[in-house]
């Protein structure tokens, strides 16, 4: 999640372009991991520009003096702080007053309650395509105006535009994207264990974890309390092992979760999850670990973990919550290949208008612009599918090269599977895929039971 969701976009084959993107990610990381994470200055974004004319601004915005807007998204902590810089600039340029409210992990429930109560926020970021479709069917989201569409057409590829569209109407702007196929590691822990090479295959990854454990380091920090992270684990293993065609079929529930390919992926995950000594705090500890804690567990404290899995936004937590420097203390490598090649799973947060007014459309116009993307990129822990933004505004070389790989992939990518599902299955805390995979983390020997639970929840959600 955290980025991502259900959609009916055309299936893209993971052909040479995607393989090239994977190669770019791997090569770029190899070239840039000696770079430091950059200074702590909040750069980027330019000064005030609106329709009165500032040549430094690439997007024209209306005057909204005194108008109040509310924006809702899942982000808290450093991710919220970084996004606030974007909102601050919007206020400066328009005169509007913007307040931010975090939705919690159950975004659809939070927003649904606000909408039904007659008090929706102006703009919301939906971390799931499925929620966008559900809200559109209910008439809760408003189509984009001409000014937003113009920025979207100028700055985004067809694939990212398609993700924000539904039934031939454009509803959303994918202002924030994620590469969800990354393993971050503590270089000191690797050095202490005598590990000199980054693992490239799943077998090598499990062996690396064992080496770390044998050397006395907690091997892998798993954020099991947040079920969305477990779906990301599964999706990367499944995409690499079963392949893109099966991935697309499972995402649409065209094959059942009792399929042998799912059994194979869960059995593979159990090679790691089934060994308590390879998981920081064991399985019980992982089920009590939230995502931010999984990052701090890896890069701070007296006995830090060796590795943590998650997307590029891990960098925001490293920068804000630890003293580790990206590129020296904290490095990153692509999710290991389970099948023939490493997986490339992307995600994203789509900004939509829940009110039909000038101010909401103005904020979406700004979010679709290069100006907003560059301000956000300068904070760190963020990448954008905005292909026209200045790549030099990224806070560090690692983020810059991850973003370049995303742009190089064009429209040929695989989107987060759970985020393509109905929210009841793929995007709700305590139920559906999140709960089934948490139960599997607790008892990874019960592959058949996990499959049955996943299929029962999916069948109910997809029929709803």
Whether 182-334 and 47-179+356-411 are alike in CATH topology: the answer is yes
Residues 6+ apart with CB under 8 A from 213: 219, 277, 278
> Per-residue pLDDT tens for 308-354?
999 999 998 999 999 999 999 999 999 999 999 899 899 999 999 99
Structure letter (DSSP) for residue 142: B
Structure tokens belonging to residue 460: 């109910």
> Per-residue pLDDT tens for 148-175?
999 999 999 998 999 999 999 999 999 9
Nearest to 458 by CA among 231, 287, 251: 251
> Per-residue pLDDT tens for 410-449?
666 789 999 889 989 998 889 999 999 999 999 999 999 9
pTM: 0.78
Residues 6+ apart with CB under 8 A from 455: 256, 257, 258
CB 182 within 8 A of CB 312: yes
Q: Where are the domains of the chain?
A: 47-179+356-411, 182-334
CA distances (Å), origin 182, targets 344, 398, 433:
9, 12, 21
**Average confidence (pLDDT) over 182-207:** 97
Q: Which CATH class is domain 182-334?
A: alpha beta
pLDDT reported for residue 464: 67
**Average confidence (pLDDT) over 207-231:** 97
Choice between 106 and 65, residue whose per-residue pLDDT is larger: 65
Q: Which CATH class is domain 47-179+356-411?
A: alpha beta
Nearest to 286 by CA among 218, 185, 338: 218
Residues 6+ apart with CB under 8 A from 178: 2, 3, 4, 311, 312, 313, 346, 347, 348, 383
Helix axis angle for 260-273 and 447-463, nearest 10°, is 130
Helix (H) or strand (E) holding 100: strand 97-102
Share of the chain above pLDDT 70, in %: 87
**Average confidence (pLDDT) over 390-404:** 90
pLDDT reported for residue 344: 87
CB 258 within 8 A of CB 266: no
Given a cut of 80, whether residue 4 has pLDDT beyond it is no
Given a cut of 60, whether residue 16 has pLDDT beyond it is no
Polymer length of the chain: 464
> Per-residue pLDDT tens for 274-321?
999 999 999 999 999 999 999 999 999 899 999 999 999 999 899 999
Between CA 381 and CA 74 the distance in angstroms is 15
**Average confidence (pLDDT) over 258-268:** 98
Given a cut of 50, whether residue 46 has pLDDT beyond it is no
pLDDT reported for residue 1: 45
The dihedral through the CA atoms of 396, 402, 405, 409 has a sign that is negative
pLDDT reported for residue 58: 81
Average pLDDT of the chain, as a whole number: 88
pLDDT reported for residue 17: 36
Nearest-10 Cα torsion for 26, 28, 33, 34: 140
pLDDT reported for residue 57: 61
């Amino acid at each position: 999640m955290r980025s991502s969701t259900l959609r009916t976009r055309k299936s893209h084959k993971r052909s040479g372009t995607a393989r090239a993107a994977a190669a770019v990610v791997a090569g770029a990381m190899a070239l840039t991991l000696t770079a430091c994470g950059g200074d702590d200055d909040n750069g980027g974004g330019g000064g005030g520009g609106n329709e009165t004319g500032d040549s430094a601004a690439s997007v024209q915005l209306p005057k909204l003096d005194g108008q109040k807007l509310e924006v809702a998204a899942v982000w808290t902590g450093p991710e919220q702080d970084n996004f606030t810089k974007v909102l601050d600039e919007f206020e400066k340029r328009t005169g509007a007053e913007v307040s931010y409210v975090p939705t919690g992990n159950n975004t659809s429930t939070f927003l649904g309650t606000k909408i039904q109560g007659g008090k929706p926020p102006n703009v919301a970021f939906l971390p799931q395509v499925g929620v966008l479709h559900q809200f559109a069917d209910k008439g809760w989201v408003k189509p984009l105006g001409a000014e937003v569409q113009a920025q979207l057409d100028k700055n985004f590829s067809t694939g990212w535009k398609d993700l924000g569209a539904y039934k031939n109407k454009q509803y959303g702007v994918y202002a924030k994207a994620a590469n969800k196929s990354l393993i971050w590691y503590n270089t000191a822990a690797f050095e202490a264990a005598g590990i000199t090479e980054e693992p490239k295959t799943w077998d090598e990854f499990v062996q690396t974890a064992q080496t770390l454990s044998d050397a006395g380091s907690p091997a892998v920090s798993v954020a099991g309390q947040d079920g969305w992270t477990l779906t990301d684990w599964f999706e990367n293993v499944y995409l690499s092992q079963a392949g893109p065609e099966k991935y697309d079929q499972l995402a649409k529930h065209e094959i059942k979760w009792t399929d042998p390919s799912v059994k194979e992926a869960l059995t593979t995950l159990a090679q790691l999850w089934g060994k308590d000594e390879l998981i920081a705090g064991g399985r019980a500890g992982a089920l009590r670990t939230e995502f931010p804690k999984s990052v701090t567990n890896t890069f701070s404290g007296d006995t830090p973990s060796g590795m943590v899995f998650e997307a590029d936004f891990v960098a925001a937590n490293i920068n804000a919550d630890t003293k580790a420097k990206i590129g020296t203390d904290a490095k990153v490598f692509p999710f290991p290949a389970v099948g023939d090649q490493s997986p490339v799973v992307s995600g994203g947060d789509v900004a939509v208008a829940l009110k039909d007014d000038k101010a909401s459309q103005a904020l979406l116009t700004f979010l679709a612009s290069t100006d907003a993307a560059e301000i956000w990129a300068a904070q760190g822990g963020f990448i954008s599918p905005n292909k026209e933004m200045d790549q030099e505004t990224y806070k560090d070389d690692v983020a810059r090269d991850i973003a370049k790989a995303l742009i190089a992939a064009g429209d040929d990518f695989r989107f987060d599977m759970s985020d393509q599902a109905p929210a009841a299955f793929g995007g709700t805390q305590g139920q559906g895929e999140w709960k089934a995979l948490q139960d599997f983390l607790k008892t990874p020997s019960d592959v058949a039971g996990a499959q049955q639970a996943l299929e029962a929840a999916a069948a109910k959600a997809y029929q709803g």
